[in-house]
Chains A and B, each alone.
Chain A
Protein backbone atom coordinates (compact mmCIF):
# COMPACT_ATOMS: atom_id res chain seq x y z
CA UNK A 1 0.00 0.00 0.00
CA UNK A 2 1.35 3.38 -0.95
CA UNK A 3 0.85 7.00 -0.01
CA UNK A 4 1.88 10.27 -1.60
CA UNK A 5 2.03 13.61 0.21
CA UNK A 6 2.11 17.19 -0.90
CA UNK A 7 2.50 20.59 0.69
CA UNK A 8 0.27 23.51 -0.15
CA UNK A 9 1.14 24.89 -3.55
CA UNK A 10 3.53 22.04 -4.33
CA UNK A 11 3.06 18.85 -6.36
CA UNK A 12 2.88 15.41 -4.80
CA UNK A 13 6.12 13.74 -3.87
CA UNK A 14 7.18 10.18 -4.51
CA UNK A 15 4.93 7.35 -3.48
CA UNK A 16 5.98 5.93 -0.14
CA UNK A 17 5.05 2.76 1.63
CA UNK A 18 2.36 2.31 4.28
CA UNK A 19 3.32 -0.40 6.79
CA UNK A 20 0.15 -2.43 6.53
CA UNK A 21 1.94 -5.54 7.67
CA UNK A 22 0.16 -8.76 7.00
CA UNK A 23 -1.99 -7.70 4.06
CA UNK A 24 -3.58 -4.90 2.09
CA UNK A 25 -6.09 -2.57 3.73
CA UNK A 26 -9.48 -2.76 2.09
CA UNK A 27 -12.00 0.10 2.03
CA UNK A 28 -9.39 2.55 3.32
CA UNK A 29 -10.59 5.77 4.90
CA UNK A 30 -8.28 8.75 5.35
CA UNK A 31 -9.15 11.72 7.54
CA UNK A 32 -7.11 14.51 9.08
CA UNK A 33 -7.63 16.29 12.37
CA UNK A 34 -7.06 20.01 12.81
CA UNK A 35 -3.40 19.47 13.73
CA UNK A 36 -2.79 17.74 10.41
CA UNK A 37 -2.51 14.29 11.90
CA UNK A 38 -3.65 11.63 9.44
CA UNK A 39 -5.85 8.69 10.40
CA UNK A 40 -5.90 5.79 7.96
CA UNK A 41 -8.40 3.06 8.72
CA UNK A 42 -9.67 0.01 6.92
CA UNK A 43 -9.97 -3.74 6.95
CA UNK A 44 -6.85 -5.87 7.02
CA UNK A 45 -6.84 -9.57 6.25
CA UNK A 46 -9.67 -9.51 3.77
CA UNK A 47 -8.16 -12.54 2.08
CA UNK A 48 -9.02 -14.56 5.16
CA UNK A 49 -12.62 -13.95 6.12
CA UNK A 50 -12.36 -15.14 9.70
CA UNK A 51 -9.22 -13.13 10.39
CA UNK A 52 -10.28 -9.83 8.83
CA UNK A 53 -9.99 -7.02 11.37
CA UNK A 54 -10.37 -3.26 11.42
CA UNK A 55 -7.07 -1.45 11.73
CA UNK A 56 -5.92 2.13 12.23
CA UNK A 57 -2.64 3.77 11.28
CA UNK A 58 -1.73 7.35 12.10
CA UNK A 59 0.88 9.80 10.85
CA UNK A 60 1.80 13.26 12.02
CA UNK A 61 2.12 15.99 9.46
CA UNK A 62 5.80 16.39 10.31
CA UNK A 63 6.85 12.78 10.07
CA UNK A 64 4.69 11.92 7.07
CA UNK A 65 5.18 8.32 8.04
CA UNK A 66 2.44 6.03 9.18
CA UNK A 67 3.15 4.10 12.32
CA UNK A 68 2.31 0.45 12.82
CA UNK A 69 -1.26 -0.66 12.45
CA UNK A 70 -3.41 -1.06 15.54
CA UNK A 71 -6.54 -3.15 15.76
CA UNK A 72 -9.70 -1.16 16.44
CA UNK A 73 -12.18 -3.81 15.31
CA UNK A 74 -11.31 -7.38 16.31
CA UNK A 75 -11.93 -10.18 13.81
CA UNK A 76 -14.18 -10.92 12.18
CA UNK A 77 -14.86 -7.40 10.96
CA UNK A 78 -15.81 -5.76 7.69
CA UNK A 79 -17.16 -2.40 6.50
CA UNK A 80 -15.28 -0.39 9.09
CA UNK A 81 -16.48 3.18 9.57
CA UNK A 82 -14.34 5.76 11.32
CA UNK A 83 -15.09 9.40 12.19
CA UNK A 84 -13.28 11.99 14.26
CA UNK A 85 -15.62 13.45 16.84
CA UNK A 86 -13.43 15.99 18.60
CA UNK A 87 -9.94 16.69 19.82
CA UNK A 88 -8.33 13.32 20.36
CA UNK A 89 -11.63 11.51 20.05
CA UNK A 90 -13.02 9.22 17.39
CA UNK A 91 -15.71 6.65 16.81
CA UNK A 92 -15.41 3.38 14.92
CA UNK A 93 -18.19 1.01 13.89
CA UNK A 94 -18.18 -2.14 11.83
CA UNK A 95 -20.08 -5.19 10.72
CA UNK A 96 -18.99 -8.22 12.71
CA UNK A 97 -18.60 -10.55 9.74
CA UNK A 98 -15.73 -11.70 7.62
CA UNK A 99 -14.47 -9.42 4.88
CA UNK A 100 -14.93 -10.83 1.41
CA UNK A 101 -13.93 -9.50 -2.00
CA UNK A 102 -16.75 -11.43 -3.64
CA UNK A 103 -19.66 -11.19 -1.19
CA UNK A 104 -21.21 -8.44 0.93
CA UNK A 105 -21.72 -10.33 4.16
CA UNK A 106 -24.16 -9.27 6.87
CA UNK A 107 -23.39 -9.50 10.55
CA UNK A 108 -23.87 -7.91 13.95
CA UNK A 109 -23.03 -4.23 14.40
CA UNK A 110 -20.26 -3.29 16.79
CA UNK A 111 -18.66 0.01 17.74
CA UNK A 112 -15.79 1.39 19.79
CA UNK A 113 -14.63 4.77 20.99
CA UNK A 114 -11.08 6.06 20.74
CA UNK A 115 -9.76 8.62 23.20
CA UNK A 116 -6.18 9.83 22.90
CA UNK A 117 -5.11 6.72 21.01
CA UNK A 118 -6.72 4.38 23.54
CA UNK A 119 -9.17 2.05 21.85
CA UNK A 120 -12.20 1.17 23.95
CA UNK A 121 -13.71 -2.25 24.27
CA UNK A 122 -16.06 -3.19 21.41
CA UNK A 123 -19.70 -2.43 22.13
CA UNK A 124 -22.41 -4.66 20.74
CA UNK A 125 -24.88 -2.35 19.02
CA UNK A 126 -27.05 -4.99 17.38
CA UNK A 127 -26.80 -8.77 17.35
CA UNK A 128 -29.06 -9.15 14.32
CA UNK A 129 -27.60 -9.61 10.84
CA UNK A 130 -27.17 -6.12 9.44
CA UNK A 131 -25.70 -4.30 6.48
CA UNK A 132 -25.45 -0.85 4.85
CA UNK A 133 -23.77 0.61 7.92
CA UNK A 134 -23.28 4.37 8.14
CA UNK A 135 -21.60 6.38 10.86
CA UNK A 136 -21.82 10.16 11.11
CA UNK A 137 -20.40 12.52 13.67
CA UNK A 138 -23.02 14.09 15.90
CA UNK A 139 -23.36 17.02 18.29
CA UNK A 140 -20.96 17.42 21.23
CA UNK A 141 -18.66 14.66 20.12
CA UNK A 142 -21.33 12.02 19.71
CA UNK A 143 -22.47 10.28 16.60
CA UNK A 144 -25.20 8.37 14.84
CA UNK A 145 -25.17 4.87 13.41
CA UNK A 146 -27.69 3.80 10.83
CA UNK A 147 -28.05 0.41 9.21
CA UNK A 148 -30.50 -2.14 7.86
CA UNK A 149 -31.11 -5.16 10.08
CA UNK A 150 -32.88 -8.39 9.27
CA UNK A 151 -34.92 -10.75 11.43
CA UNK A 152 -37.94 -12.99 11.07
CA UNK A 153 -40.30 -10.07 11.64
CA UNK A 154 -38.68 -8.02 8.89
CA UNK A 155 -37.11 -10.38 6.36
CA UNK A 156 -36.79 -7.54 3.84
CA UNK A 157 -34.91 -5.47 6.37
CA UNK A 158 -35.67 -2.63 8.71
CA UNK A 159 -33.84 0.70 8.71
CA UNK A 160 -32.76 1.63 12.23
CA UNK A 161 -30.55 4.21 13.91
CA UNK A 162 -28.57 4.23 17.15
CA UNK A 163 -27.26 7.38 18.76
CA UNK A 164 -23.80 7.52 20.29
CA UNK A 165 -23.45 9.82 23.29
CA UNK A 166 -20.22 11.74 23.89
CA UNK A 167 -19.33 9.31 26.69
CA UNK A 168 -19.60 6.39 24.29
CA UNK A 169 -22.91 4.99 25.45
CA UNK A 170 -25.12 3.90 22.58
CA UNK A 171 -28.90 3.86 22.48
CA UNK A 172 -30.61 0.63 21.41
CA UNK A 173 -31.17 0.72 17.66
CA UNK A 174 -34.69 1.51 16.55
CA UNK A 175 -36.71 3.28 13.94
CA UNK A 176 -35.91 6.98 14.11
CA UNK A 177 -38.71 9.03 15.65
CA UNK A 178 -38.37 11.73 13.02
CA UNK A 179 -37.89 9.26 10.18
CA UNK A 180 -34.45 10.57 9.20
CA UNK A 181 -31.04 8.94 9.22
CA UNK A 182 -27.73 10.80 9.07
CA UNK A 183 -25.36 10.23 6.17
CA UNK A 184 -22.73 12.94 6.71
CA UNK A 185 -21.71 15.25 9.53
CA UNK A 186 -19.51 18.29 9.93
CA UNK A 187 -17.13 19.09 12.76
CA UNK A 188 -19.86 20.55 14.94
CA UNK A 189 -22.26 17.66 14.47
CA UNK A 190 -24.57 19.25 11.92
CA UNK A 191 -25.77 16.40 9.73
CA UNK A 192 -27.12 15.73 6.29
CA UNK A 193 -30.01 13.31 6.63
CA UNK A 194 -32.12 11.17 4.33
CA UNK A 195 -35.35 9.27 5.02
CA UNK A 196 -34.49 6.06 6.85
CA UNK A 197 -35.23 3.24 4.45
CA UNK A 198 -34.06 -0.33 4.32
CA UNK A 199 -31.26 -1.16 1.91
CA UNK A 200 -32.25 -2.05 -1.60
CA UNK A 201 -35.32 0.14 -1.83
CA UNK A 202 -33.92 2.69 -4.25
CA UNK A 203 -32.27 6.06 -3.84
CA UNK A 204 -33.17 8.49 -1.06
CA UNK A 205 -36.42 10.32 -1.68
CA UNK A 206 -35.23 13.52 -0.02
CA UNK A 207 -32.27 15.18 1.65
CA UNK A 208 -32.14 17.67 4.48
CA UNK A 209 -29.84 19.32 6.98
CA UNK A 210 -30.28 18.73 10.71
CA UNK A 211 -28.45 21.40 12.73
CA UNK A 212 -26.50 20.18 15.72
CA UNK A 213 -28.54 22.25 18.14
CA UNK A 214 -31.96 21.52 16.68
CA UNK A 215 -34.16 18.55 15.94
CA UNK A 216 -35.85 20.08 12.92
CA UNK A 217 -34.71 19.14 9.44
CA UNK A 218 -34.21 21.86 6.85
CA UNK A 219 -35.11 20.41 3.44
CA UNK A 220 -32.50 20.68 0.74
CA UNK A 221 -33.28 22.57 -2.46
CA UNK A 222 -31.97 19.47 -4.25
CA UNK A 223 -34.98 17.23 -4.69
CA UNK A 224 -35.10 13.47 -4.50
CA UNK A 225 -35.36 10.71 -5.33
CA UNK A 226 -31.71 10.60 -6.19
CA UNK A 227 -28.37 9.37 -5.07
CA UNK A 228 -26.66 12.37 -3.52
CA UNK A 229 -22.98 13.03 -3.21
CA UNK A 230 -22.42 14.68 0.16
CA UNK A 231 -19.66 16.28 2.19
CA UNK A 232 -19.25 17.78 5.64
CA UNK A 233 -16.70 20.39 6.65
CA UNK A 234 -13.98 18.81 8.80
CA UNK A 235 -12.99 22.22 10.18
CA UNK A 236 -16.28 23.97 10.90
CA UNK A 237 -19.97 24.16 10.26
CA UNK A 238 -20.95 23.52 6.66
CA UNK A 239 -22.52 20.72 4.64
CA UNK A 240 -22.72 20.22 0.90
CA UNK A 241 -24.64 17.99 -1.46
CA UNK A 242 -24.74 17.43 -5.19
CA UNK A 243 -26.89 15.63 -7.72
CA UNK A 244 -27.76 16.08 -11.38
CA UNK A 245 -30.42 18.78 -11.85
CA UNK A 246 -31.81 19.01 -15.35
CA UNK A 247 -28.86 19.27 -17.72
CA UNK A 248 -26.29 20.24 -15.11
CA UNK A 249 -24.83 19.19 -11.84
CA UNK A 250 -26.58 20.91 -8.94
CA UNK A 251 -24.56 21.77 -5.84
CA UNK A 252 -26.08 23.13 -2.64
CA UNK A 253 -24.30 24.25 0.52
CA UNK A 254 -25.87 24.47 3.97
CA UNK A 255 -24.60 26.67 6.77
CA UNK A 256 -26.22 27.37 10.14
CA UNK A 257 -28.68 30.21 9.87
CA UNK A 258 -28.28 31.23 13.48
CA UNK A 259 -25.46 33.34 14.91
CA UNK A 260 -23.96 30.35 16.70
CA UNK A 261 -20.30 29.40 16.52
CA UNK A 262 -19.04 28.68 13.04
Chain B
Protein backbone atom coordinates (compact mmCIF):
# COMPACT_ATOMS: atom_id res chain seq x y z
CA UNK B 1 0.00 0.00 0.00
CA UNK B 2 2.77 2.38 0.94
CA UNK B 3 4.62 1.66 -2.26
CA UNK B 4 1.49 2.19 -4.30
CA UNK B 5 0.85 5.48 -2.54
CA UNK B 6 4.39 6.64 -3.19
CA UNK B 7 4.09 5.67 -6.80
CA UNK B 8 0.85 7.62 -7.17
CA UNK B 9 2.39 10.72 -5.69
CA UNK B 10 5.42 10.37 -7.91
CA UNK B 11 3.26 9.93 -10.97
CA UNK B 12 1.24 13.00 -10.16
CA UNK B 13 4.22 15.24 -9.90
CA UNK B 14 6.30 13.66 -12.64
CA UNK B 15 6.81 15.98 -15.54
CA UNK B 16 5.33 18.96 -13.75
CA UNK B 17 7.87 20.49 -11.43
CA UNK B 18 11.52 20.51 -10.57
CA UNK B 19 12.75 21.64 -7.21
CA UNK B 20 15.83 23.73 -6.65
CA UNK B 21 16.89 22.89 -3.14
CA UNK B 22 18.89 25.51 -1.30
CA UNK B 23 22.40 24.41 -0.60
CA UNK B 24 25.66 25.61 0.79
CA UNK B 25 27.46 25.27 -2.50
CA UNK B 26 30.99 26.62 -2.59
CA UNK B 27 32.35 28.84 -5.34
CA UNK B 28 32.01 27.12 -8.65
CA UNK B 29 29.27 24.74 -7.60
CA UNK B 30 25.73 25.60 -8.52
CA UNK B 31 22.65 24.80 -6.47
CA UNK B 32 21.62 21.20 -6.07
CA UNK B 33 18.96 20.25 -8.59
CA UNK B 34 16.41 17.78 -7.26
CA UNK B 35 14.14 16.59 -10.06
CA UNK B 36 10.58 15.65 -9.32
CA UNK B 37 9.76 11.96 -9.14
CA UNK B 38 13.36 10.95 -8.53
CA UNK B 39 13.10 9.26 -5.14
CA UNK B 40 15.23 6.19 -4.51
CA UNK B 41 16.91 5.83 -7.88
CA UNK B 42 18.60 2.48 -8.25
CA UNK B 43 20.70 3.52 -11.21
CA UNK B 44 21.56 6.91 -12.71
CA UNK B 45 23.25 8.17 -15.85
CA UNK B 46 24.58 11.71 -16.05
CA UNK B 47 26.09 13.94 -18.73
CA UNK B 48 27.21 17.56 -18.89
CA UNK B 49 28.38 19.90 -21.62
CA UNK B 50 30.87 22.73 -21.61
CA UNK B 51 28.17 25.31 -20.87
CA UNK B 52 27.19 23.54 -17.68
CA UNK B 53 23.98 22.15 -19.12
CA UNK B 54 23.23 18.79 -17.60
CA UNK B 55 21.09 15.78 -18.44
CA UNK B 56 20.18 12.88 -16.19
CA UNK B 57 18.18 9.70 -16.36
CA UNK B 58 17.31 7.43 -13.50
CA UNK B 59 15.67 4.12 -12.79
CA UNK B 60 13.22 3.45 -10.00
CA UNK B 61 11.74 0.17 -8.90
CA UNK B 62 8.58 -0.30 -6.85
CA UNK B 63 7.65 -3.91 -6.40
CA UNK B 64 7.45 -5.50 -9.83
CA UNK B 65 7.25 -2.17 -11.65
CA UNK B 66 10.27 -0.29 -12.96
CA UNK B 67 10.13 3.31 -14.13
CA UNK B 68 12.70 5.13 -16.18
CA UNK B 69 12.73 8.94 -16.16
CA UNK B 70 14.92 11.71 -17.49
CA UNK B 71 15.32 15.45 -17.43
CA UNK B 72 17.70 18.20 -18.45
CA UNK B 73 18.72 21.59 -17.16
CA UNK B 74 19.58 23.83 -20.08
CA UNK B 75 20.80 27.42 -19.71
CA UNK B 76 20.01 27.24 -16.02
CA UNK B 77 16.41 26.22 -16.59
CA UNK B 78 15.24 22.80 -15.40
CA UNK B 79 12.93 21.06 -17.84
CA UNK B 80 9.99 18.87 -16.99
CA UNK B 81 10.70 15.29 -16.02
CA UNK B 82 9.95 12.81 -18.78
CA UNK B 83 8.76 9.30 -18.00
CA UNK B 84 10.40 7.20 -20.68
CA UNK B 85 9.35 3.74 -19.64
CA UNK B 86 7.17 2.12 -17.02
CA UNK B 87 6.99 -1.65 -17.17
CA UNK B 88 6.08 -4.61 -15.03
CA UNK B 89 8.32 -7.67 -14.70
CA UNK B 90 11.12 -6.12 -16.74
CA UNK B 91 14.77 -5.66 -15.80
CA UNK B 92 16.32 -2.43 -17.04
CA UNK B 93 20.09 -1.99 -16.92
CA UNK B 94 22.90 -0.25 -18.74
CA UNK B 95 21.58 3.30 -18.51
CA UNK B 96 23.57 5.61 -20.73
CA UNK B 97 23.17 9.25 -21.73
CA UNK B 98 24.92 11.96 -23.66
CA UNK B 99 24.24 15.67 -24.00
CA UNK B 100 25.71 17.11 -27.16
CA UNK B 101 26.93 20.63 -27.82
CA UNK B 102 23.61 21.64 -29.34
CA UNK B 103 21.74 20.63 -26.21
CA UNK B 104 20.31 17.43 -27.67
CA UNK B 105 20.04 14.77 -25.00
CA UNK B 106 20.18 11.10 -25.98
CA UNK B 107 19.45 8.21 -23.65
CA UNK B 108 19.69 4.46 -24.09
CA UNK B 109 19.16 1.38 -22.00
CA UNK B 110 18.81 -2.39 -22.08
CA UNK B 111 15.71 -4.38 -21.15
CA UNK B 112 14.80 -7.99 -20.61
CA UNK B 113 11.88 -9.86 -19.12
CA UNK B 114 12.32 -10.75 -15.46
CA UNK B 115 10.26 -13.24 -13.49
CA UNK B 116 11.10 -13.21 -9.80
CA UNK B 117 14.61 -12.11 -10.67
CA UNK B 118 15.11 -14.70 -13.39
CA UNK B 119 15.98 -13.02 -16.68
CA UNK B 120 14.60 -14.55 -19.85
CA UNK B 121 13.53 -13.79 -23.38
CA UNK B 122 15.02 -11.41 -25.92
CA UNK B 123 17.35 -8.62 -24.88
CA UNK B 124 16.21 -5.25 -26.16
CA UNK B 125 18.18 -2.04 -26.57
CA UNK B 126 15.99 1.06 -26.53
CA UNK B 127 16.73 4.74 -26.90
CA UNK B 128 15.06 8.15 -26.97
CA UNK B 129 16.21 11.73 -27.39
CA UNK B 130 15.17 15.25 -26.50
CA UNK B 131 15.79 17.96 -29.06
CA UNK B 132 17.17 21.38 -28.09
CA UNK B 133 13.66 22.76 -28.59
CA UNK B 134 12.38 20.45 -25.86
CA UNK B 135 10.59 17.80 -27.92
CA UNK B 136 11.05 14.21 -26.79
CA UNK B 137 11.13 11.49 -29.40
CA UNK B 138 9.20 8.29 -29.06
CA UNK B 139 11.13 5.44 -27.46
CA UNK B 140 12.88 3.54 -30.24
CA UNK B 141 13.86 -0.11 -30.22
CA UNK B 142 17.42 -0.21 -31.49
CA UNK B 143 17.86 -3.95 -31.46
CA UNK B 144 16.08 -7.02 -30.22
CA UNK B 145 18.35 -9.98 -29.94
CA UNK B 146 18.67 -13.47 -28.63
CA UNK B 147 20.30 -14.29 -25.33
CA UNK B 148 23.64 -14.30 -27.10
CA UNK B 149 23.85 -10.54 -27.17
CA UNK B 150 23.29 -7.52 -25.01
CA UNK B 151 24.17 -3.90 -25.24
CA UNK B 152 23.97 -0.26 -24.30
CA UNK B 153 25.22 2.94 -25.80
CA UNK B 154 26.82 6.29 -25.17
CA UNK B 155 28.67 7.82 -22.27
CA UNK B 156 28.59 7.96 -18.52
CA UNK B 157 30.96 8.15 -15.57
CA UNK B 158 31.12 7.90 -11.82
CA UNK B 159 32.68 6.63 -8.65
CA UNK B 160 30.94 3.30 -8.93
CA UNK B 161 32.80 0.59 -10.66
CA UNK B 162 32.05 0.08 -14.30
CA UNK B 163 30.62 3.57 -14.76
CA UNK B 164 32.14 3.98 -18.14
CA UNK B 165 30.91 4.73 -21.58
CA UNK B 166 29.83 1.61 -23.37
CA UNK B 167 28.75 0.49 -26.75
CA UNK B 168 26.61 -2.35 -27.82
CA UNK B 169 28.40 -5.58 -27.09
CA UNK B 170 27.91 -9.29 -27.03
CA UNK B 171 28.33 -11.82 -24.30
CA UNK B 172 28.33 -15.57 -24.48
CA UNK B 173 25.45 -17.29 -22.72
CA UNK B 174 25.98 -17.25 -19.00
CA UNK B 175 28.02 -14.07 -18.98
CA UNK B 176 26.86 -11.11 -16.98
CA UNK B 177 23.86 -9.31 -18.42
CA UNK B 178 24.04 -5.57 -18.79
CA UNK B 179 25.57 -3.10 -16.36
CA UNK B 180 27.21 -4.03 -13.10
CA UNK B 181 26.01 -2.29 -9.98
CA UNK B 182 28.21 -1.45 -7.05
In angstroms, Cα B104 to Cα A227, docked, is: 27
Least CB distance, A233 to chain B, in whole angstroms:
4
- Asked if B167 and A40 sit within 8 Å, CB to CB, the answer is yes
In angstroms, Cα B151 to Cα A99, docked, is: 19
- Asked if B54 and A240 sit within 8 Å, CB to CB, the answer is yes
Mask of B76-113 contacts with A, CB within 8 angstroms, 1/0: 00000000000000000000000011101010000000
- Asked if B50 and A233 sit within 8 Å, CB to CB, the answer is yes
Least CB distance, B26 to chain A, in whole angstroms:
5
Mask of B139-177 contacts with A, CB within 8 angstroms, 1/0: 010110000010101111111111111111111100110
Q: Which of B25, B50, B154 contacts A238 (CB 8 A)?
A: B50
Q: Is the interface of B mostly helix, strand, loop or mixed?
A: loop
- Asked if B32 and A222 sit within 8 Å, CB to CB, the answer is yes
- Asked if B158 and A2 sit within 8 Å, CB to CB, the answer is no
- Asked if A244 and B142 sit within 8 Å, CB to CB, the answer is no
The answer to whether residues A183 and B159 also contact, given A24-B170, A248-B19, A249-B56 and a CB cut-off of 8 A, is yes
Give the interface size class of chain B: 35 or more
Least CB distance, B69 to chain A, in whole angstroms:
9
Contacts of A27 in B (CB 8 A): 162, 164, 166
A172 touches B (CB below 8 Å): no
In angstroms, Cα B159 to Cα A255, docked, is: 19
Mask of A197-238 contacts with B, CB within 8 angstroms, 1/0: 000000110010101000000111110000111111111111
Q: Which of B24, B58, B167 contacts A30 (CB 8 A)?
A: B167
Count A-side interface residues using an 8 Å CB cutoff.
69
- Asked if B50 and A251 sit within 8 Å, CB to CB, the answer is no
The answer to whether residues A253 and B30 also contact, given A30-B167, A221-B23, A235-B101 and a CB cut-off of 8 A, is yes
In angstroms, Cα B34 to Cα A244, docked, is: 9
In angstroms, Cα B29 to Cα A239, docked, is: 9
- Please count the residue pairs between chain A and chain B whose beta carbons lie under 8 angstroms apart in the complex: 210
In chain B, positions 99-130 with a C-beta closer than 8 Å to chain A are: 100-102, 104, 106, 125, 127, 129
- Asked if A251 and B26 sit within 8 Å, CB to CB, the answer is no
Least CB distance, B163 to chain A, in whole angstroms:
6
Stretch of A9-17, A119-127, A147-155 contacting B (4+ beta carbons < 8 Å) = A9-17
Mask of B39-75 contacts with A, CB within 8 angstroms, 1/0: 1110011111111101010100000000000000100
A101 touches B (CB below 8 Å): yes
In angstroms, Cα B182 to Cα A9, docked, is: 34
Contacts of A249 in B (CB 8 A): 34-35, 38-39, 41, 44, 56, 58
Contacts of A204 in B (CB 8 A): 159
In angstroms, Cα B44 to Cα A81, docked, is: 21
- Kindly report which residue of chain A lies nearest to residue B162, judged by CB atoms: A27
A26 touches B (CB below 8 Å): yes
- Asked if A253 and B102 sit within 8 Å, CB to CB, the answer is no
Across the A-B interface, give the 4 residue pairs with the lowest CB-CB distance, nearest first.
A236-B50, A249-B38, A240-B48, A248-B34
Hey, which bits of chain B sit against chain A, CB under 8 A?
Answer: 19, 21, 23-36, 38-41, 44-52, 54, 56, 58, 73, 100-102, 104, 106, 125, 127, 129, 131, 137, 140, 142-143, 149, 151, 153-172, 175-176, 182
17 A/B residue pairs, CB under 8 Å, sorted by A: A3-B167, A4-B125, A4-B143, A11-B140, A219-B26, A221-B23, A221-B32, A227-B182, A229-B157, A230-B158, A245-B34, A251-B33, A251-B34, A251-B54, A255-B28, A255-B52, A262-B51
